[in-house]
Amino acid sequence: MTEQQLRRPRMRARSPHEAHRSATPLELLFDLCFVVAVAQAGARLVHSVAEGSFAAGVGGYVFVFFAIWLAWVNFTWFASAYDTDDVPYRIATFVQMCGVLVLAAGIPRAFDEDDFSIAVAGYVIMRLALVGQWLRAAHGETGAGRTTALRYAGGLVVVQTAWVLLLQLPDSAWSAGFVILAAADLSVPVIAERARRTGWHPHHIAERHGLFTIIVLGETIAAATVAVQSALNESSAADDLVPIVVGGLLVVFSAFWFYFAGPIHEHLHGNREAFRWGYGHYFVLGSAAAIGAGLEVAVEHATHHAHVSVYAAAAAVTIPASIYLFSVWLLHARHFKRTLAQQLVLPGAAVLVAASTAAGRWAVLLAGVVCAVAVAVGLTLERRVRASRPPG
């Protein structure tokens, strides 16, 4: 750490036009903490769906993944604007990491017992550190910038206090309370940045979301590894497991291809676009992580450990894969498509992947083939469009 970093007394906003801005080692370490939380959420979703508790499993996953995603978003967008990488900043980030691990530890209890006390305690730890960061930012700002930072700090305190109070209400109030407070949480940046936009960096933000997408897709690769291990250990089920492995890998590779098809940072011009894009990633990231959980359900069904039908096991993969394809098209791909045929590739693939559920034990393989064909069709259409342009 440089002498300047050790001595820096104030937190100054970084320029949104800074050249060569990229993720820092500290941000990558922060992301690794979320690997634990995402894995916990996926494991509980697998358990619930494999036991036939679809509504409880999906509902719990929606709640818990929202908490994971929002915690990551809160830190990432702040860091894009105010990452000074000095001693106080690093210590505050370490505290937030501790909060993430507490949140992860509380996920099983939230799923199994509808007890969110530990998860909320983890959020209190994260939010206290983040509020301190915003107050420090306010101290280093003046005028509208100071107002924005104070609005962030105040909004986070108010909403987090409401989450703690929600724990004191009867369990019957949790679902409605969650919806209301989730909306309140999402409104904090919208209200705060009316005073002045923070200096988030478009390229940095795009890279950070891309890295987190890779993390959740990595969880899906881990699920495919479980399938391979099961095939080796239970040779009697190999005929059912091989299509799951092949199809699952095709889905993951295609998911990566679709997401990184173009430089999305060029379309993040202001807060209106950025909020829609950033909040939309809840569906991208949540569905990507759910694909991995679905593959594990499909494996458990193939090895006769899941108490669900073959179609339910198939839907555990095909439905989140379909949601992922449509979400990526809506947030990313449509910005780079020039013809109607190009625009229809991903939505059409999403419909076909969902319909492949009817194929039963072959559904995952069929979904993977659909995704791979969609990649090939997209590349062919893009090549034709480029060839049709006049030279120069």
Query: pLDDT at residue 45 above 60?
Result: yes
Q: Are 85 and 21 in contact (CB under 8 A)?
A: no
User: 188 pLDDT band (50/70/90 cuts)?
Assistant: very high
Q: Report how far residue 353's alpha carbon sits from residue 329's, in angstroms, rounded to the nearest whole number.
A: 14
Q: Are 324 and 288 in contact (CB under 8 A)?
A: yes
Dihedral over alpha carbons 66, 38, 312, 323 (to 10 degrees): 50
User: If you average pLDDT over residues 270-279, what whole number do you get?
Assistant: 83
**pLDDT at residue 390, rounded to an integer:** 67
**pLDDT at residue 155, rounded to an integer:** 95
Q: b or e along 361-380 (b: 16 or more beta carbons within 10 Å of the residue's beta carbon)?
A: bbbbbbbbbbbbebbebbee
**pLDDT at residue 237, rounded to an integer:** 65
Query: pLDDT at residue 231 above 70?
Result: no
Question: What is the tens place of the pLDDT at every residue in 315-348?
Answer: 999 999 999 999 999 998 888 888 898 899 999 9
**pLDDT at residue 233, rounded to an integer:** 72
**pLDDT at residue 53, rounded to an integer:** 83
User: If you average pLDDT over residues 154-169, what whole number do you get?
Assistant: 93
**pLDDT at residue 391, rounded to an integer:** 62
Dihedral pair phi/psi, residue 8, rounded to 5°: -60, 115
Q: Report how far residue 93's alpha carbon sits from residue 305's, in angstroms, rounded to the nearest whole number.
A: 41
Nearest of 218, 215, 220, 245 to residue 230 by alpha carbon: 245
Q: Report how far residue 217's alpha carbon sits from residue 293's, in angstroms, rounded to the nearest whole number.
A: 11
**Helix, strand, coil % (nearest 5) of the chain?**
85, 0, 15
**pLDDT at residue 16, rounded to an integer:** 78
User: 57 pLDDT band (50/70/90 cuts)?
Assistant: confident
Residue 332 backbone zone (phi > 0: left; psi -120 to 50: alpha; other: beta): alpha
Burial of 165 (0-12, 13-18, 19+ CB in 10 A): exposed
Q: Are 62 and 285 in contact (CB under 8 A)?
A: no
**pLDDT at residue 367, rounded to an integer:** 97
Residue 168 or 240, more confident: 168
Q: Kindly list the domain boundaries of the chain, sorted by start residue.
A: 22-192, 202-388
Question: What is the tens place of the pLDDT at every residue in 98-113?
Answer: 999 999 999 888 887 8
CA distances from 155 to 69, 91, 126, 232, 269 (A): 18, 23, 14, 53, 25
Nearest of 254, 229, 231 to residue 243 by alpha carbon: 231
CA distances from 182 to 6, 117, 266 (A): 37, 16, 29
Q: Give the mean pLDDT of the chain.
A: 88
Q: What percent of the chain has pLDDT over 90?
A: 49
**pLDDT at residue 250, rounded to an integer:** 95
**pLDDT at residue 151, rounded to an integer:** 95
Q: Report how far residue 67's alpha carbon sits from residue 37's, in angstroms, rounded to the nearest whole number.
A: 10
Query: pLDDT at residue 56 above 70?
Result: yes
User: 129 pLDDT band (50/70/90 cuts)?
Assistant: very high
Query: pLDDT at residue 1 above 60?
Result: no
**pLDDT at residue 226, rounded to an integer:** 72
